[in-house]
Amino acid sequence: MMMKMLLKTQTLNLISRSHPQRTLNVNHLSHSFALFTTTITGNTKLSDSPDPDSSESPDIPSWVTNQNPESKPSEDDDFVIPSLASWVENHPKVKRFAIATEKPQTQLDIFTQILKKPYSSPEEVVDTLNRSSLSVPSVSVNRLWKRFHDCWISAYGFFIWAKEQTGYNHDPQSYSFMVDILGKARKFDLMFDLLQEMNQLKGYINLYTIVKVMRRLARAGRFSEAIEVFRRVEEYGIEKDIMALNGLLDALIKGDSVEHAHEAFLEFKECMPLNSSSFNTLIHGFCKARKLEDARKILKEMKEYGCQPCVVSYTCFIEAYCREKDFDNVDSVLDEMKKKGCTPNAVTYTIIMHARGKSGTIGKALEVYEMMKNDGCLPDSSFCSSLIFILSKGGRLKDADEIFEDMKKQGLKPTVLTYNTMISLACEHSLEEKALKLLQRMEEDSCKPNVYTYKPLLRMCCRKKRMKVLNFLLSHMLNNDVSIDFSTYCVLVRGLCSCGKPEQAVAFFEEMVLKGMIPFDSLRKKLVETLEKENMTEAVEKIQRLMSNVTAE
């Protein structure tokens, strides 16, 4: 009862203190405070409530509520839910995707089909392309880099082949993409060769290229080499300035070595004037590594140097305390900030609200939102995504939906993170129609999906045995230049094993191995067990051959 009263008061406060413009309308969010109180008592059920728009969208099936009990899973489970299958088939967008995958029509499709095949070396790709009598596609090269960013053999083979074609030269952006692809695949010798080649072309290397190189090296744990690139940065025609140093520090910290970042800082700090980013980057690094004493030392040094600590500096400390669930110290930092006239911003509040929500106290999380409004700080899209996430994790799907719908009204554009949050939550609760409609809205909003958009959808399709939708999603991914990553392959292989599609599971497993990914042993076991159960001896042998090649390398 006490809790109810508290929440009631809190909700009313949230409503009365809301900003007139661009703030979330919490009143609208919950219709009334009733929702907040009913959820706390557990009376609000998660349900795929009838969508108010559904009557206006005849092309969206009512297959959640309108399932035909007689439509038992057939041999071809593409038609488990006939209305869904027909929606997917007849949807104009799906038709377009289907055409794109069945009959290659554009140059991009033709190249994609060729490059998708497994190759053992870039030379093999070059040979294949040489025999094809194709010419370099005029406009889609950038999309090819995106599609094959984690498939260095295909990308590099195409790169070499295209370079050899008369009348074609790669632009600096293509070189930069290729450098990054090689770095990601840890083909550092090739990456450095290409960097040399760019250097000879004059004007092809910019700071962005160098930062990418340092970042890839640092990610691979090659910290000294990353520092060496910075040391010799002028040989690449790049100024050894504070921008470059900050890039190095950030790369080393993203590669999880604040120690190397600190070493580099000590080595180069006398060579150029520092700025607050240099200090903040180091503070962040030490906070991330849970070395708060070191972070405090940098803060002190920052002041002595004449740089005023700012909202970013303090937010790093707040994040560190949030990670420890030390909310007393979070409050102390907030007080200190306010005393110094440094106003917390949406990032600061997002971090605190998220941490409060994750530690299971939604009431406290909403108090943060209230505090934020009192301080005159406006929520942004990332803040809303976090709020949606926190509310949904607490079982308040309807409130989360309201926040999502309110964003646009408040002039906030949902980002890919917002959509991913919404889609993944819909998928978790098996709200299939809702999840697919969100994907559709994303397209209408021109919001580019990423691999995290598709992963929960694909998982849900496997769980619910929606093969037609699965294929639709795979085409959709391809069309949006989103390639399947390691963990998504795992989801697909595991999911397809579980839903009685061993052939497809084998195909994806093979594809991931040929892309150079090394699957977990548990995944291989699951696949082999499934195949043995189905007496698919040849497939088992194929998997074993595939894996013996991997371990032999």
- 167: alpha, beta or left, given left = phi > 0 and alpha = psi -120 to 50? left
Q: Please, which residue, 101 or 483, has the CB nearer to DNA?
A: 483
**Which residues touch 14 (CB under 8 Å, ≥6 apart)?**
26, 366, 369, 370, 373
Q: Please, which residue, 161 or 175, has the CB nearer to DNA?
A: 175
Residue from 311, 378, 546, 547 in contact with DNA (CB under 7 A): 311
Q: Does 315 contact DNA by CB under 7 A?
A: yes
Cβ(59)–Cβ(30) under 8 Å? no
- In the complex, the smallest distance separating the C-beta of residue 481 from DNA, rounded to whole angstroms, is 16
Q: Does 23 contact DNA by CB under 7 A?
A: no
Q: Please, which residue, 380 or 433, has the CB nearer to DNA?
A: 380
Residue from 151, 330, 490, 528 in contact with DNA (CB under 7 A): 490
Q: Does 494 contact DNA by CB under 7 A?
A: yes
Concatenated DSSP letters of 51-63: PTTGGG-TTS--T
What is the footprint of DNA within residues 328-367 (CB under 7 A)? 345-348, 350-351, 354
Q: Does 45 contact DNA by CB under 7 A?
A: no
Amino acid code (one letter) for 159: F
Q: What are phi and psi of 480, to 5 degrees?
A: -100, 15
- In the complex, the smallest distance separating the C-beta of residue 281 from DNA, rounded to whole angstroms, is 5
What is the footprint of DNA within residues 436-465 (CB under 7 A)? 450, 452, 455-456, 459, 463
Q: Is the dihedral of CA 167, 173, 175, 181 positive or negative?
A: negative
Q: Does 289 contact DNA by CB under 7 A?
A: no
Q: Does 373 contact DNA by CB under 7 A?
A: no
Q: Does 382 contact DNA by CB under 7 A?
A: yes
Piece in contact with DNA (CB under 7 A), picked from 33-41, 87-95, 103-111, 413-421: 413-421
SS3 per residue for 276-339: HHHHHHHHHHHHHCCCHHHHHHHHHHHHHHCCCCCHHHHHHHHHHHHHCCCHHHHHHHHHHHHH
Cα–Cα dist 333/83, whole Å: 56
**Which long-range contacts link 225-231 to residues 24+ away (Cβ below 8 Å)?**
225/188, 226/251, 226/252, 226/255, 226/260, 227/252, 227/260, 227/263, 227/264, 227/267, 230/264, 230/268
Contact map string, positions 80 to 119, toward DNA, x by CB under 7 A = ----------------------------------------
Question: What residues make contact with DNA under the rule CB under 7 A?
Answer: 208, 211-212, 246, 250, 276-277, 280-281, 284, 310-313, 315-316, 319, 345-348, 350-351, 354, 380, 382-383, 385-386, 389, 416-417, 420-421, 424, 450, 452, 455-456, 459, 463, 487-488, 490-491, 494, 498
